[in-house]
Structure 1
Amino acid sequence: MADQHDPHSGLHSERGALAGEHPGRAANPVIKVHDLAWLEFEKPDLARAEVFARAFGFTTTLSTGHELHLRGTDPGAPCVLVREGARSKFRGPAFRAAAPGDVLRLADATGRKVTGLPGTLGGVSVDLPDPSGLRVRVVSGTDELAALPPQDPQVLNFGHEVGRVNAAQRPPRAPARVQRLGHVVLQTTKYRQTLDWYLQHLGLIVSDFLFHPRRRGRGPVMSFIRCDRGATPADHHTLALLLGPANRYVHSAYQVADLDALAAGGEYLRERGYHHSWGIGRHIEGSQLFDYWRDPDGFMVEHYSDGDLFDNTLEPGWAPMTASGLAQWGPPATADFLGVKPGKASLRELRAVFSALREDNEFDAQRFLGLLKVARS
């Protein structure tokens, strides 16, 4: 009986699907994307955004006063594109196609046009609206930035396995150098429709489903979704979708070298007065070490390290969604992270609840009650 109540037992495949539940993948997707390419935002103050980005661990590749490109140390495209706008807004994700012809194949299947990207990026794109109305880009042929010198992980002594002798451990209190973009989490009022759209159009596959406690029969309310690279392992989730009262960005995550980089980088941010949301801890779904911050525009961003990698043979896990089940260890999830901290953001979410309950979508009264139970669990 203990295993039924312990969120740290049976963390993945031991809790598989029941007969008739969602399979977590499309039988014949249009294409299979390889990874996230970048995320796009609008912000009114690009100078302020760049100061935070450098403290968080990004490197600037373009800064014009009207546009800002931010990258990690890994080779490839920038991680984040920020354009000047009247107010802060998430514009959408861009996914990298696995093969050059996939952009044309997706455009043909959806009746969309292939367009050239700006010279600062290179390559081509097809832009699609997902069922929530978010613009989703699939890109190919973009310019490849060369790798930058990485932040080396610390040499550790593991019990009796000694790797460091006659040397003290002194991780620098400096920005954690972002290596790459890992994932983005989105909330949608049309969860099942949006989930199926990403699986069908982009060939993504589900790693884990979450359902409201004692409401599994109504289906999942969150999914952690990875790229299908066949036998090549991919991040546990590149995209996560959550049913909620509004269509919005939740957070994005960026990989760093190790726990010391994450922790020392967090101290660097804290000393400069930036807002810490939650951490440090280790998640259950995905297993990664995490630390969450908010940028000056209120967007939540995550440093993470040591995440799970799955190939395409692993079937989805199923688990109840609880606040206490978000981490294997670490401090309890904060009101800020859960979106219930008193303030403007929670008031907007409350107004969204009343609006969503009046509209025709998947967020009904029972889902609202289930979400309240999650926040209290």
Structure 2
Amino acid sequence: MSETRVNGADVSTAHQHLHSERGALRGERPGRSRNPVIKVADLAWLEFEKPDLDRAEIFARDFGFGIAARSERELWLRGTFAGSPCTVIRKGRASRFIGPAFRAAERADLDRLARGTGTSVREADVPGGGMAVDLLDPSGFPVRVVSCGEALPTLPEQQPLPLNFGKEHRRTNATQRPPREPSRIQRLGHVVLETRVFGRALEWYLDTLGMIVSDFLYLDGRRDRGPTMAFVRCDLGSVPADHHTLAMHLGPGTGYVHSAYQVTDLDSIAAGGEYLKERGYKRSWGIGRHIQGSQLFDYWRDPDHFMLEHFADGDLFTCDVEPGWAPMSTNGLAQWGPPATRDFLGANPSPQRVRDVIKALRGDNEMDTARLLGLLKATKS
């Protein structure tokens, strides 16, 4: 493997022209566990509570979800792909994110996980049935690992539009008129979380669930203190997996940042965005193309202020791709598109954010004044 030097240190150039121009320096964390308890296969669904399920269902249909099941207490949302639901929203007193559920590669992994974590296997309350192991990550998020029973069937897809490229003409004597309708969600792609204990939480997901890092981000000028964000994928061996199924970053708070849902193509993103705009929903940021993950993106807020992303054309990596390293900055978020908004960056001041900062600086966690200032600088760079 060829090497170059950055600030006098050897660094792998394995990522040149791939997903990062920089690899790990000598002695930096490898981004994977040598002997994880199990290796999860994918995200299964995300769990929320909201007081108004009727309002949640209206937004869900406008955003492009299908309805897998509905009762007075639960709303299960799905995509067009066969498999498990994408999201469950349970009726609660306040709007809040509960935690993620990951899909085990096989049923026997649940027994292995239960033995390795001192927990037990129980029935999962999911349409079609299944089994689950309930865990708690170091940030305090409830994490389920599930093996589902009966899979949801495939639903009709939005077909990608045939495009003309240069001298390659797929369309003649025909116009392009994408319908003004919701983007049709295909599947859940990833979830992004903020945590005050980034290092401990990351190692837990690598050691317990067998996930591996695609990209590390660090505060500019403070790489010696380690990464402050990681894009983490499932280890499926030689089978390509999404660039990130989970992303986490260090911050003063602990909570949900956004979740992302795959749609067919750029026209689906754009036409679906126009549909949402006409119905009064707030775009947080987009449309653009990311750097880490490469996906086309468009971010929206639901009526409860949760951020959701439509995405298409994301990177897929096999297990042999090592982590890339890059400085954390606002300019490093996208290859093209409008500037990242304060709403997307979480930079709008609020009483809750002030309380988070005070609690983080006074608590036993990985936040300190230097890192807080570095994160503020990154949002302005």
What TM-score comes out, normalization by structure 2 length? 0.95
Task: Please say if 1:291 is aligned against 2:278.
Answer: no
2:248 paired residue number: 241
Match of 2:357 among 347, 353, 362: 353
Compute the RMSD of aligned alpha carbons. 1.2
Cα distance in 1 for residues equivalent to 2:126 and 2:218: 44
Structure 1 unaligned segments of length 5 or more: list them.
none
Task: Please say if 1:153 is aligned against 2:160.
Answer: yes
Match of 1:279 among 275, 286, 290: 286
| Conserved? CA contact 1:183–1:238, under 8 Å | yes
2:193 paired residue number: 186
Matches within 5 A, 1:13-92: 13-92=20-99
What secondary structure is seen at the aligned counterpart in 1 of 2:113? helix
What secondary structure is seen at the aligned counterpart in 1 of 2:41? strand
Structure 2 unaligned segments of length 5 or more: list them.
1-5, 7-15
Cα distance in 2 for residues equivalent to 1:355 and 1:118: 35
1:260 paired residue number: 267
Cα distance in 2 for residues equivalent to 1:69 and 1:155: 33
Give the deviation of 1:141 after TM superposition: 3.2
Cα distance in 1 for residues equivalent to 2:159 and 2:242: 21
Moved more, 333-342 or 321-330: 333-342
| Conserved? CA contact 1:12–1:318, under 8 Å | no
Match of 2:373 among 366, 369, 372: 369
| Conserved? CA contact 1:11–1:284, under 8 Å | no
Give the deviation of 1:208 after TM superposition: 0.2
Cα distance in 2 for residues equivalent to 1:34 and 1:119: 18
Q: Which amino acid aligns with 1:16?
A: G
Once the two structures are superposed, residues 30-68 of structure 1 have per-residue CA deviations (whole angstroms, 9 ceiling, x without a partner) of 100000000000000000000000000001121212110
Q: Which amino acid aligns with 2:138?
A: P
| Conserved? CA contact 1:205–1:225, under 8 Å | yes
Moved more, 269-278 or 115-124: 115-124
Matches within 5 A, 1:167-246: 167-246=174-253
What secondary structure is seen at the aligned counterpart in 2 of 1:268? helix
Q: Which amino acid aligns with 1:15?
A: R
Cα distance in 1 for residues equivalent to 2:372 and 2:148: 43
Cα distance in 2 for residues equivalent to 1:287 and 1:249: 22
What secondary structure is seen at the aligned counterpart in 1 of 2:332? helix
What TM-score comes out, normalization by structure 1 length? 0.96
2:142 paired residue number: 135
Cα distance in 2 for residues equivalent to 1:267 and 1:202: 38
| Conserved? CA contact 2:84–2:148, under 8 Å | no
What secondary structure is seen at the aligned counterpart in 2 of 1:232? coil
Q: Which amino acid aligns with 1:336?
A: D
